[in-house]
Homo-oligomer: A and B are copies of this chain.
Amino acid sequence: MTKILRDEDLADNALMRVAVDALETAFLARAGNRLVSPPRHHVSFPDRGDLVFTVGGMLGDKPLAGFRVYETFDGAEHSQIVAVWSADDARLKGIVLGERLGNLRTGAIGGLAVRHLSAPGARIVGIIGSGAQARTQLAAAAAVRKLDRARVYSRDENNRAAFASEMQHALGLEVEPVGSVSEAVYEADIVICATTSQKPVLHARDLKPGVHVNTVGPKTLQGYELGLDVADAAAVIATDSPEQTRAYASPFFLAGSGNEDRIADLANIIAGTAAGRGLPEDITLFCSVGLAGTEVVVASAILDRVGVSV
């Protein structure tokens, strides 16, 4: 019987660690040219919208193949489908429905960057933003570092208070809402910038030496949440997909900044073929773009795990 998982099956916090570990395998496969991630495939239904397919998989010992599909129709409720096959025996491993897998995947990409770029002793997180992405990024950081506390700033006082109490409860971690960006990040070893802001909200002067920064919000020249001086200050700049940063309709926010040629592929940092963090005081920056094809690898690991105690 094909396993079908829904959002409510993906509530266990332990799954974030499963997702990060699965992505690490995927990124190593990418460094070895074994990650399959062809361009998206759009099919238009006139006057209605598109179906958009992201096919992906991983070659090697236990090859995987699958896809994610979502639609752009008008409606209140949207359902994604992710399906995974074992490509060595044609078995349909299962299907994951809903929104949570995508969030988990995006969070876990950030977690993988934190694992490989932040200081091993990182204990304090500063978060800017209080939406779904901010939640999964913090959960991912907590899955890879022994955190003591987090401080969150977002413009709406109610939102940041709700974020703090919810995440404190979910992660068993002290989470404090604060009134400014600088209060959120001045002591932070890890900074998560997860806003929808089209103008920079975080600047190099806010950051302490040795910090690692994840930017998951807007980052094209049309609008970006991170000051260009953060990139100037960073010893290492990485992304999960250099090719996707070059494929945006509007250019990547670092285009023309003098920093665009030193953007490393996180996969190569993980594989040890590109330099990661050097000195303790190095600032590192990760620009998350959502490497295509990785949903399938995360879904596979979760299908293996859910129903078994994690």
Residues of A within 8 A of B (CB): 1-2, 4, 6, 36, 38, 41, 43, 45-49, 51, 53, 55, 57, 59, 63, 65-67, 69, 71, 73-79, 81, 83, 85-92, 95, 97
Q: Is the CB of B51 within 8 A of A67?
A: yes
A73: which B residues are within 8 A, CB to CB?
Answer: 65, 85-90
Q: Name which of A45, A47, A49 has the most chain B CB atoms within 10 A of its CB.
A: A45
Q: Is the CB of A45 within 8 A of B69?
A: no
Q: Is the CB of A87 within 8 A of B38?
A: no
Q: A67-B69, A81-B95, A95-B81 are in contact. Are A75 and B59 (CB under 8 A)?
A: no
Q: Is the CB of A90 within 8 A of B71?
A: yes
Contact of A45 among B6, B46, B48, B57 (CB under 8 A): B57
Residue of B nearest to A73 (CB): B90
Query: For the complex, what is the distance from the CA of A53 to the CA of B38, rounded to whole Å?
Result: 14
Residue of B nearest to A87 (CB): B48
16 sample A-B contacts, Cβ–Cβ < 8 Å, listed by A number: A2-B6, A41-B41, A43-B55, A45-B63, A45-B65, A48-B88, A49-B65, A49-B90, A67-B69, A71-B85, A73-B87, A74-B88, A74-B90, A75-B91, A77-B90, A95-B95
Query: For the complex, what is the distance from the CA of A46 to the CA of B35, rounded to whole Å?
Result: 11
A46: which B residues are within 8 A, CB to CB?
Answer: 36, 59
Q: Is the CB of A48 within 8 A of B41?
A: no
A2: which B residues are within 8 A, CB to CB?
Answer: 6, 79, 97
A75: which B residues are within 8 A, CB to CB?
Answer: 86, 88-91
Contact of A47 among B1, B59, B67, B85 (CB under 8 A): B59
CB distance from A306 to the nearest CB of B (A): 16
The 5 closest A-B pairs by CB, nearest first: A75-B90, A79-B92, A73-B90, A48-B87, A43-B55
Query: For the complex, what is the distance from the CA of A46 to the CA of B75, rounded to whole Å?
Result: 38
A83: which B residues are within 8 A, CB to CB?
Answer: 69, 81
Q: Is the CB of A48 within 8 A of B69?
A: no
Q: A73-B87, A92-B79 are in contact. Are A45 and B36 (CB under 8 A)?
A: yes
Contact of A65 among B51, B85, B95 (CB under 8 A): B51
Q: A71-B65, A95-B95 are in contact. Are A51 and B59 (CB under 8 A)?
A: no
* Besides A45-B59, A53-B53, A74-B90, 6 new A-B residue pairs in contact (Cβ under 8 A), listed by A number: A51-B65, A69-B83, A74-B88, A76-B89, A81-B92, A95-B95
A71: which B residues are within 8 A, CB to CB?
Answer: 65, 85, 87, 90
Query: For the complex, what is the distance from the CA of A77 to the CA of B74, rounded to whole Å?
Result: 37
Residue of B nearest to A1 (CB): B6
Query: For the complex, what is the distance from the CA of A59 to the CA of B95, rounded to whole Å?
Result: 27
Query: For the complex, what is the distance from the CA of A53 to the CA of B54, rounded to whole Å?
Result: 12
A51: which B residues are within 8 A, CB to CB?
Answer: 55, 65-67, 85
A36: which B residues are within 8 A, CB to CB?
Answer: 43, 45-46
Query: For the complex, what is the distance from the CA of A77 to the CA of B81, rounded to whole Å?
Result: 21
Q: Name which of A76, A79, A89 has the most chain B CB atoms within 10 A of its CB.
A: A79
